[in-house]
Amino acid sequence: MTQQAQVKGPASYFPSIEKKYGRPVAEWKDLIRTSPLTRHMELVAWLKSEHGLGHGHANALVADTLAEPA
């Protein structure tokens, strides 16, 4: 019997984000990348106020997106 590798960090939220909000993670990341906002907590607040995301989900998306190589 084999064990599947468990996803850790912000990406562990991605399946529940897609299920709860009905958009793929790639779409959320595109919104974050094209936003005029650049600071982590500004982006989190924007996702919460404008798109109705919970704090943990918004934080996970922003953290993962901002950690991508430039």
Helix residue spans in the chain (DSSP H): 14-21, 25-34, 40-51, 55-66
Domain boundaries, the chain: 10-66
pLDDT of residue 6: 81
pLDDT in tens, 52-69: 999 999 999 999 999 999
pTM of the full structure: 0.88
Q: Is the pLDDT of residue 1 over 70?
A: no
